[in-house]
Amino acid sequence: MAKTVNFQTEKKLISAFHTALDSATEQESPKVMSQFCAPDLQWRGFHPFNEISGAEQVARQFWQPLKGSLTHMQNRVDILFAGQNSLRNEADVWVVSMGHLMGLFDRPWLGIRPTSKLAFLRYCAFHRVTGDRIVETAMYFDIPHLMVQAGQNPFPPQTAAHLVQPGPMPHDGLLLNEQSVEEGEKTLAVINAMISDLGQWDSGVSLEDELARTWHQNMIWWGPEGIGATYTIERYANQHSGPFRTAFKDRSKTNHVCRLAEGHYGGFFGWPNFTVTPTGGFMGMPATDKTGEFRVIDIYRRAGDKLAENWIFIDLLHFWNGQGVDILARTTGIETP
């Protein structure tokens, strides 16, 4: 019989946290945060939020303004899994949730104009749980995609296509039951092999052959607004991976804060994941000779012995801000901190 590891308590805590936040009013958000999170919660989010210390401050700086803008907000979760952080020897359990925060875009948020229509903010969050509290969170969310929904496209035409980001093809991303340890180990192993290939940028074989070592031929790469999604190894190589490698030099080593897998799902995040120097062409921008940071969350679905789907969250606002371009201010006319 396959071994299982029980992360059910931690997953139930995060599910209860989602439910409480969904039902809470804007004014009740600090109470929910204090109920589920440690008072000194360490929270990492995309630009312009960056790092926030303290559960109450996260509620006041992030959740209250967002809930005031996206009224009747729902957290529509597509993927939920948990596990031990493979990068730590001591107990370090994280719960990962991914989906969309959906609501009616009734009031401005970060200078983005409201539409009074349905809007989706795609997100992924890693929550570190100790006892019955969330003590650390990395929550990455695609602000440019919300801007496009509001008719304020911040970027030039993408190399791939950003449409609606669906959940997993098999519709099995909510791992509410215990999972086989062996299946999680297989997922983590193929993710690690892919990272090893990716970190080289020169594996001695063609890009397509390199990708085929760890990816299914009909892989789907669900990229962020500004880059887009792409389908099959050939199109991924042509529409993102190849152009991306061409547009940068001096890629640093991969540096993740957390990397884990459970069942057929796994992922990681970094702060930042790596640094590179633009040589020109990426997203239509010229070379800057400034080293830039890529803050990224990657979530994967394994099918058999290879990766089949990948959902990616990249803080492009932070990257371009480090290059001297305030995308939010340029698009909305409102300066960000």
Q: Do residues 225 and 315 both lie within one domain?
A: yes
Report yes or no on 40 lying in a domain: yes
**pLDDT (0 to 100) of residue 163:** 79
Q: Which of 191, 184, 101 is nearest to 146 (CA)?
A: 101
Same domain? 211 vs 282: yes
- pTM, full prediction: 0.95
What total number of domains does the chain contain?
Answer: 2
The answer to whether position 19 is within a domain reads yes
**Residues 198 and 272 both lie in one domain:** yes
Does residue 163 lie in a domain region? Answer: no
**Residues of the domain holding 285:** 179-332
The values of phi and psi at residue 213, to 5°, are -70, -30
Strands 265-269 and 296-303: antiparallel
User: Do 209 and 262 lie in a common domain?
Assistant: yes
In a domain, 204, yes or no: yes
What pLDDT is stored for residue 203 in this prediction? 64
Residue 159 lies in a domain: no
Whether residues 260 and 191 share a domain: the answer is yes
β-strands 133-141, 37-45 pairing: parallel
Same domain, yes or no: 118 and 234: no
Tell me how far apart the alpha carbons of residues 93 and 302 are, in angstroms, rounded to a whole number.
21
The pLDDT value recorded for residue 336 is 64
Q: Flag whether 265 is in a domain.
A: yes
CATH number at residue 259: 3.10.450.50
Residue ranges, the chain, pLDDT below 50: 1-2
Same domain, 190 and 306: yes
Whether residue 198 contacts residue 314, with contact meaning beta carbons closer than 8 Å, is answered with no
Q: What is the pLDDT of residue 1?
A: 42
